[in-house]
């Protein structure tokens, strides 16, 4: 296959083919990613249930089906860093760790596909991955050929040990190589993050032409403060990010922390609500065998998922915050336009105390219409809101009230 890839790749460079010509991610992708919860755990003797291995992926795939995650829309199951041997094969191919993946990646991909799920994997644009396993640099054709032969559906391409300025050409070029394989592979880029954090403003028009999803900022961590910091950065930079999001190409504020030790139930509801407002990928990173039912309920909330997957495909915005020029706002309003004139609005309380706040149409950036309001986290009677009225919300400490506003005809 490599020679045919080389031919099509050369044509792609001359003809200007974009990496997005794959028909994927028409709504933000949903799935599971190993990194936040399992990191680079490779000692299967000491931690047999937590090491990055085919056993972990098979177990997670089984649970995604049996526990209703696939039915709710979570389709991708993706292995992050540390799945490789430290050296390539004699002919230059990527080699999965022989002890932890004894049956190889094609067999694992087949198992994932047999469950109705899609198979994802991690690599790095540089000479090495972030954990110092082989990167793709200098092996692009072979690696794309290998990924396609494993029937990969999703590639997370990191950017450690790489030329940051060169990413503006290198990432699009590798996307064209992926396309040339003929295998539709969702392309998750880290190029904007590495440029943003090195003082380079990414060309987001080019990013959106070249990637299905892209990381903007630092890795999210297992803490409320980390979720807050990501929200703040996205809100502060939304004017240059949001215009480039839409069907087939999305900003990625990183994984869902939900279900791990770092968030309360209220804080988990905040992340799920804001990520759905942002039209962000919903990638879980949690041990599905150990998740508390309260967090599982948040991840499987079909009303919130419907906001995430809304066909209008428009990224929402932070439209209001108390003390707008303060670096530590007490409350925020996040607003997303939906299909059929509807709106989704998340009222977020950043304080560690319970609050009651009343908001005007202007605060919420609502058109002057009459609305039926549905609480997306609680089964309560729907209510109406008319122009000139204010909406009063009661919000738990570091919590959220999340509503859908449907215009009355």
Residue 158: active-site member: yes
Kindly state the percentage of the chain with pLDDT values over 70: 94
Confidence of residue 122 (pLDDT cuts 50, 70, 90): very high
Query: What is the pLDDT, as a whole number, of residue 10?
Result: 45
Give the start-to-end residue ranges of the domains of the chain: 2-308, 317-407
Residue 3, pLDDT above cutoff 50: no
Residue 147, pLDDT above cutoff 90: yes
Q: What is the mean pLDDT of residues 346-371?
A: 96
For the stretch 352-362, pLDDT in tens is 999 999 999 99
Residue 1, pLDDT above cutoff 80: no
Residue 6, pLDDT above cutoff 60: no
Distance CA 15, CA 1 (A): 21
In 3D, which of 308, 301, 258 has the Cα closest to residue 279? 308
Query: What is the pLDDT, as a whole number, of residue 380?
Result: 76
Residue 16, pLDDT above cutoff 80: no
Q: What's the fold here for domain 317-407?
A: Immunoglobulin-like (2.60.40)
Query: What is the pLDDT, as a whole number, of residue 130?
Result: 97
Contacts with 191 (C-beta within 8 Å, 6 or more apart), sequence order: 125, 159, 167, 168, 171, 202, 207, 211, 214
Distance CA 223, CA 257 (A): 8
Residue 329, pLDDT above cutoff 90: no
Distance CA 3, CA 1 (A): 6
Query: What is the pLDDT, as a whole number, of residue 402?
Result: 98
Interior CA angle at 92 toward 91 and 96, to 5°?
105
**Which member of 143, 153, 158, 310 is catalytic?**
158
**Which member of 21, 219, 266, 287 is catalytic?**
219
DSSP state of 326: -
Query: What is the pLDDT, as a whole number, of residue 379?
Result: 75
Distance CA 89, CA 87 (A): 7
Confidence of residue 8 (pLDDT cuts 50, 70, 90): very low
CA distances from 4 to 1, 7, 10, 168, 216 (A): 5, 5, 10, 25, 34
User: Would you state the structure tokens that stand for residue 114, as one six-digit string?
Assistant: 């047999």
Residue 189, pLDDT above cutoff 70: yes
Residue 5, pLDDT above cutoff 80: no
Q: Whole-prediction pTM value?
A: 0.94
CATH code of the domain made up of 2-308: 3.20.20.70
Rounded mean pLDDT of the chain?
94
Residue 265, pLDDT above cutoff 60: yes
């Amino acid at each position: 296959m490599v020679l045919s890839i080389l031919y099509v790749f050369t044509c792609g460079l001359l003809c200007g083919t974009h990496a997005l010509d794959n028909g994927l991610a028409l709504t933000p992708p949903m799935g599971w990613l190993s990194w936040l919860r399992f990191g680079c755990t490779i000692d299967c003797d000491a931690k047999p249930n937590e090491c990055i291995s085919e056993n972990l992926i098979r177990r997670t795939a089984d649970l995604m089906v049996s526990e209703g995650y696939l039915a709710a829309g979570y389709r991708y199951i993706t292995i992050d860093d540390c799945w490789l041997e430290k050296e390539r094969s004699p002919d230059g191919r990527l080699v999965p760790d022989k002890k932890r993946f004894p049956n190889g990646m094609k067999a694992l991909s087949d198992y994932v596909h047999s469950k109705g799920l899609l198979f994802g994997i991690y690599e790095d644009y540089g000479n090495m991955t972030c954990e110092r396993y082989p990167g793709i640099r200098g092996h692009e054709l072979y690696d794309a050929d290998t990924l396609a032969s494993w029937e990969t559906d999703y590639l997370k391409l990191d950017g450690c040990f790489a030329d940051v300025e060169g990413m503006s050409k290198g990432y699009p070029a590798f996307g064209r190589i992926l396309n040339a394989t003929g295998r539709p592979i969702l392309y998750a880029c880290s190029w904007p993050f590495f440029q943003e954090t090195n003082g380079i403003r990414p060309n987001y028009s080019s990013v959106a032409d070249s990637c299905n999803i892209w990381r903007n900022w630092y890795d999210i961590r297992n803490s409320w403060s980390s979720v807050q910091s990501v929200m703040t950065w996205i809100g502060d930079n939304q004017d240059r990010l949001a215009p480039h999001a839409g069907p087939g190409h999305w900003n990625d504020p990183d994984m869902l922390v939900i279900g791990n030790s770092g968030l309360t139930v209220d804080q988990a509801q905040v992340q799920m609500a804001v990520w759905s407002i942002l039209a962000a990928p919903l990638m879980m990173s949690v041990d599905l065998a150990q998740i508390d039912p309260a967090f599982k309920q948040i991840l499987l909330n079909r009303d919130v998922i419907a906001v995430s997957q809304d066909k209008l495909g428009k990224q929402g915005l932070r439209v209001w915050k108390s003390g707008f020029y303060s670096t530590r706002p007490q409350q925020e309003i996040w607003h997303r336009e939906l299909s059929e004139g509807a709106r989704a609005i998340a009222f977020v309380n950043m304080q560690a105390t319970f609050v009651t706040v009343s908001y005007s149409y202007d605060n919420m950036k609502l058109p002057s219409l009459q609305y039926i309001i549905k609480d997306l986290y609680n089964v309560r009677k729907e209510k109406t809101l008319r122009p000139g009225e204010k909406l009063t919300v009661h919000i738990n400490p570091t919590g959220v009230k999340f509503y859908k506003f449907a215009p009355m005809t």
